[in-house]
Every structure is written in C-alpha cells, then in structure tokens.
Chain A
C-alpha cells in the first residue's frame, strides 16, 4: 500500500477549490479521532467560522467581525476526509462540488441530532 507523508502545519491556511474551480475557503482546523491505536483525521474545517472556532471566541469574535463590517457570515464547511484530494498539498481540491458538500454537511448535522 503506497503511503505518502504530509505536513499538517503547512496545510493550514491553504485555499481549497472544488471540482469546478469554485473557491471553498481556507483550511483552518483539522479534526481527528481515535480509531484503535491510531488517531486519524475525520474532517477538515474550512472558512471564516473555522478561524473563530479555532479561537473559540464565537460570541466575541462574531461581535467583533460584525463591528468590522463583515456581513453575510456564511457558515464554514466541514469537509469529510474522503472528500479532500491532497495529491498536491499546495492546492487541496474538493472532490465534489460545493453544493454537494453542503448536502453532505446538512446530512452530517441531521445525523448528529
């Protein structure tokens, strides 16, 4: 089984584009879970709210962002690991389209509730 290495800290901040070339957002956080003895990546968080989530100052952050004029705070995206193509780490690609991703995200939210 061919395996490659990747530096996660260099993935931080890289812009993700979908299969049709639309901009999805910047990678701000990586979520991992334990599976047996290993820890594996389950999803990547992308977009403005992901920064705020990383700073865990949602209320304060959203307040400040509104003050600074950021309107339309679109919800960030959660990209499941299998939907991100990291063949070229400098240019991560979403395998599906943004719309498909939205559907997947909504499904994940529904499953969680």
Chain B
C-alpha cells in the first residue's frame, strides 16, 4: 500500500515537469493550428521521457546518488559545469514562465493584470518550500493536479472523429506552413523532454529514500505518472483541435486558449482552464525552484533536502529563496508569459543533448547501478533520444526565426 502512494511522486513530477506551461501552450497551439497532425510528437516525447525518468529513478534508488551528483562524480566537474550553467539559466527563464502561467490564470479569473500577481505568487511558492516538506508538496500537487483531467473529460464530451485522431499518430509533414509545423513539433518535444524533470525526479527519489526494492515501483511510477501527463496533454491538443481549429482561432495568447473548454463546459470551462493552468504551473514552479537548489547543492556537495528544516540546509534554502524572487521579477516587469514560455522551450531544446549524454555512461556503470545496468532497449532509446535532441538543438533556433 505504501508503494502505491509512491505514485504521488510520479504524478507530481508529471504535473509539474511534464504538464506545465510549455506543454499546455504548445499542445494548444498544435491543436488550433494543425488539428490532430501533431499527436505523434506528444507520443514520441512521452516514450523518451518515460524511459529517461525510469533511468533517473533507477540510478537514484540503486546508487543513492542523484543524477546531478553522479554526473559530476563520474564525468568530472570540467564536463558538468556546462550542463550546470546552462540548466541554471534555463531554470531561471522557465521559472519566470511558470510563475507567469499562475499569474495569467489569476488574471483570467479576476481581471487583475498578471504583473500584480507576480510577487504574491512568488511568496506563496516560497512559503510552501520554506515551511512544507517534500511529501506535502508531492501529495498536495498530485491531488490538486487531478483537476487537469478536465481536458480529458472534455475530449470525450466533444467526440472527436477517431480515424482522424489515429491518423495523427503517424508522423506526417504538411505541404503548407511547413516551417511553422516543424517549429511547433520541436517546441512540443522541447517542452516535454525537460532536463529539470530528470534532476527533480532523481532528487525526489533520494528524498523519499528509495532503494533497490523500489525498482518495480519506479517503473510503474515513471510509466503511469508520465502517462498521466501525456494523456492530459493529448486532451489539450484534441480539445484545441475540436474547438479552436474550426473557428480559425490561433493561440496567440492565453485568453484565446482559455476558450477551448467553454464549448464542452460553458462558463465553467473558462474557470476550469484557469484552474488547470494555475495548478499545473504552480506545481512546475515548485519543481523548477527546487531543481535549481538541488543541482547547485549537488554540484558543490552541500547538504540538501526539502524535507530538512531550512536551518539544516542553509545554502540550499538560500538558493531557492533568492531564485524564486529573482525569477518573479521577469513577470513584474511585464514580459509576456507566452513569449517567454516559447523562448525557454527553444532554449531547452538546445541544451538537451548535454543532459542526456551522461545517461549513456551512468546507466552502464556497475559502480552506480550495480546489476541493474541498462538493457539493449534502454540503451537504444537513450541513443535515439541523444540523436533526436542533437537534431532539435540544431534546428530549434533557426525554426524559431522562420516559423515562430
């Protein structure tokens, strides 16, 4: 029974890491612009993420070291400093975007501009990190995150044509608007395969004191947890395809995206969209803040742990405190949250290869994973993902210019 509760780690990682402002924005844009044609990118991203999350968990459970620990220890600081600096910069921008997501959700419901919400939201995030422990955050967000199932319910209410949906599973490239299509495909993959997901999940596994007996749970959690986020993302895409696409509404702002749930749910659809966006982004903000503190503490060998009292992990707590407030300033000064989201997705795509390559080394190293080395399937998926992320890294910026 205890192990079933572990699923909470998977769902919270999923809601914060998988289903965040980037996933919602890109899925909505995909559905509204290209109907069901981009479903395959969500499925592809999901497969890669499930495999990599499972590996992060396995690494943490067997070695009791997190991903960041292991990358520095095994590949050396001279290598690690690159993904480290890149990750901190990306985390900063993504955190700003997630805080922006929460603020926009509040703006949708209250009408008060998102800029005013930035500091209160940052304070709420900080307070939860300061006073709460890892279990509280894990279970709280998992529970609240269930509201995102509204998108799945909406999908069923709208009765999409199944053959059209099934066709979306096959990768196709349209003749018109090719640059825009490819840009959204790259953005979706950059939004789904987020480096902070892996660092966070492995840190969470250590926080929850996983060991070898959790390996089965890890597989279930990785699959079901990420699967949950994936199903909701698909829901967002399909609803956008059914509601926004026929009306020619493109998602240039969150207000337009919010319309998508009004057809199945009426006025409450608007509120459900705001609630889903707000909770998913809040969860993501918690995760990204913690992620930055985790990787810096783990890179330098400090004491760390969300479940520790702040005074027992002073440097760790100090880092997330400063980080949350600095990132919120991006929203205070009025940077458009949607633009920041799309930009940080493209930047994530550029740094991804550096994050994934260590997996190939670590997951085949017996001193870290013992007898639980990667089999040929896991290694193949890892190599495939490395190649995929290299391609993404190269095309991300040019496509942003051409098709953004």
Contacts and interface: CB of A to CB of B under 8 A. Distances in A.
B31 to A, nearest CB: 38
Interface string A28-61: 0000000000000000000000000001110010
B126 to A, nearest CB: 37
Contacts of B307: none
B365 to A, nearest CB: 6
A13 B76 CA distance: 12
A55 B364 CA distance: 10
A57 to B, nearest CB: 5
Contacts of B74: 55
B78 interface: yes
B224 interface: no
Nearest to A55: B361
B75 interface: yes
Contact of A12 (B78, B360, B364): B78
Given A57-B360, A60-B379, A13 B78 contact: yes
Contacts of B379: 60
Interface of A is mostly: loop
Contact of B365 (A12, A13, A56): A56
B78 A57 contact: no
Interface in A55-89: 55-57, 60
A60 B379 CA distance: 10
A13 B75 CA distance: 13
B366 to A, nearest CB: 8
The interface size bin for chain A is under 10
B376 to A, nearest CB: 11
B71 to A, nearest CB: 12
Nearest to B76: A12
Counting chain B CB atoms within 10 Å of each CB, which of A13, A55, A56, A60 scores highest?
Answer: A55
Contacts of A56: 364-365
A56 B361 CA distance: 8
A55 B365 CA distance: 8
B360 A60 contact: yes
Contacts of A57: 360-361, 364-365
A109 B360 CA distance: 30
A55 B75 CA distance: 7
Nearest to B75: A55
Interface in A1-32: 12-13
B259 to A, nearest CB: 48
A57 B75 CA distance: 12
Contacts of A13: 78
A72 to B, nearest CB: 24
Interface string B350-381: 00000000001100110000000000000100
A12 B104 CA distance: 50
Interface centre among B75, B78, B364, B365 (most CB of A within 10 A): B364
A13 to B, nearest CB: 7
Instruction: Give the 5 A-B residue pairs with the shortest CB-CB distance, closest first.
Output: A55-B361, A57-B361, A57-B364, A56-B365, A60-B364
15 contacts: A12-B76, A12-B78, A13-B78, A55-B74, A55-B75, A55-B361, A56-B364, A56-B365, A57-B360, A57-B361, A57-B364, A57-B365, A60-B360, A60-B364, A60-B379
Interface of B: 74-76, 78, 360-361, 364-365, 379
Interface of A: 12-13, 55-57, 60
